[in-house]
Structure 1
Amino acid sequence: MGIFKRLKTITMAELNGLLDGIEDPIAMLNEYSREMEQEIVKGQKALARQIFVEKKQAILISQLKTLVDKRTRQAKLAIEHGEEAIAKLAVQEKLTQEKQLHLYQEQLEALKGQTKILVEKLDELKETYNQLQHKKVLLASRANVAQSMKQIQKATVSFHTDDIARGVARAEDRILMMEAEVQAGNQFTAPLAQIDAAYDSYVSEEELSKELEKLKNQI
């Protein structure tokens, strides 16, 4: 049993890791928003049905009140005319309708209480939805920043420092080679320059004889 449990644990860990990798936080927030919108629509429909039932109940109560008033007038009229049996029937129906009226009124109060609770729940749902919308904007901004930073970090990590160090070393070697070539060139050109200078300062025997003869003539 131990090995099967370990295999199950490994499998679940891999599945959870896969799900974490494909979960898009912005898509998740959008999905939550859609779900809440659907709940709001359901709540509004339920409230509409509740209000309809409440109004129907109010109409029944109004009709019963009218009927009770009618039976009361009939009973009074029968008594005035000495029609005891008719008066008794009218009073009996009046009492029956009054009991029904009382029951309908209690039901209406219960419906109003349910309607109030439904309105409060719907308002809470709408408020939660509005808060989610505001929070979604903030979280979307944070997610974009985090994603950008993640991409920057990924790009930074992708650089290979060893390759960079080798590249710098090659550049340094190239510069050293260039400096060596310049120095080597100077060693070849300097002696030539010295020979040229010495040649330029050399006085020939002919020049020396002419200068001596010139001085003698001046004397």
Structure 2
Amino acid sequence: MQFLKRLLKIGTAEVHSAIDGIEDPITMTEQGIRDMRQDLDKSLEALAQVKAMSIRAKNEVQEYAAKGEDYNEKAMLILKKAQSGDLDSSEADRLATEALIKKEEAAAGQKRALADKEKFDLNVSQMESNVQNIKQNISKWENELKILKSRVKVADATKTLNKQMAQIDSNGTVALLERMKEKVAQEEALSEAYGDIAHNAKSIDEEIDKAIDVSKTKAKSELEKLKEELGITHSKE
């Protein structure tokens, strides 16, 4: 069956697309569904035609049955007219015989039409089964298409993310970040070193000032200078 071959083609396309990207599974699946819908339209058209033939055969069965009964009644009426003397007996026999022949022809036509109807009914049953099968496959693959589209979106997003992650080192981003981190660490160390130097320099100055008692020496010098200005002589100790 053509639609089964198309389903196999859809599956094959998906596998090939996953391997080497030759075929797009979404496009192939959508095309497969369109093909199945075309098959469905053709099958429904054929089914309608076969059903029409079955209905016509059924009508023929009824028509031939009615003709058979009609010719049988006519034969009886002819014989009754001959019996009553209204019709010549030989002529009545001839006409009644012709009516019965027509009855047999109608019976044969009825039998043939009935056989045709049975054949058409069998075809209708098989075609209805095929139509139902196509409808189920269309429904199935429409659901599969929704799933495939979701999977493709996830796959594309994952591929893009993984591709970006894979390109990070090649673009030197990680190396740049590592250099920036090292530079910050170096600046922090340099700042700490300057702090130590400033602290050590201040401590040495403080030690020197403490050793010579700068403030006391300066005050004493100022005192001697003031006494000289006032003419105060130095007392001997």
Q: Same fold (TM over 0.5)?
A: yes
CA distance in 2, matches of 1:140, 1:40: 24
CA distance in 1, matches of 2:137, 2:221: 117
Change (3 A) 1:115 1:37: same
> Hey, what does 1:45 align to over in structure 2?
45
- Contact (CA 8 Å) 2:75, 2:95: kept in 1 or not? yes
In structure 2, the gaps of 5 or more residues are: 1-15, 83-88, 226-234
> Hey, what does 1:190 align to over in structure 2?
200
- Contact (CA 8 Å) 2:74, 2:96: kept in 1 or not? yes
Residue 160 of structure 1 aligns to a residue whose secondary structure is helix
- Contact (CA 8 Å) 2:67, 2:106: kept in 1 or not? yes
Matching residue's letter, 1:78 = I
> Hey, what does 1:108 align to over in structure 2?
117
TM-score (ref. length: structure 2)? 0.71
Matching residue's letter, 1:206 = S
Within 5 Å, which residues of 2 pair with 1:1-219?
20-80=20-80, 81=82, 82=89, 83-160=92-169, 163=172, 164-165=174-175, 167-169=177-179, 171-173=181-183, 175-177=185-187, 179-180=189-190, 182-184=192-194, 186-187=196-197, 190-192=200-202, 194-195=204-205, 198-199=208-209, 201-202=213-214, 203-204=217-218, 205-206=220-221
Shift of 1:132: 1.4
CA distance in 1, matches of 2:73, 2:175: 111
Shift of 1:188: 5.6
CA distance in 2, matches of 1:60, 1:85: 28
TM-score (ref. length: structure 1)? 0.76
Out of 25-34 and 85-94, give the one that drifted further.
25-34
Out of 99-108 and 199-208, give the one that drifted further.
199-208
CA distance in 1, matches of 2:171, 2:106: 98
Residue 64 of structure 1 aligns to a residue whose secondary structure is helix
- Contact (CA 8 Å) 2:33, 2:138: kept in 1 or not? yes
Matching residue's letter, 2:156 = Q
Could you give the per-residue CA deviations for residues 161-213 of structure 1, whole angstroms, max 9, x where no partner exists? Answer: 69323651454145325523552464366335532563363234537979xxx
Structure with larger Rg: 2
Matching residue's letter, 2:38 = Q
CA distance in 2, matches of 1:20, 1:51: 48
Change (3 A) 1:136 1:193: same
Identity score, percent: 18
- Runs of 4+ aligned residues of structure 1 deviating over 4 Å after TM superposition are 207-210
Out of 181-190 and 38-47, give the one that drifted further.
181-190
RMSD: 3.4
> Hey, what does 1:13 align to over in structure 2?
none
- Contact (CA 8 Å) 2:54, 2:116: kept in 1 or not? no
In structure 1, the gaps of 5 or more residues are: 1-15, 211-216
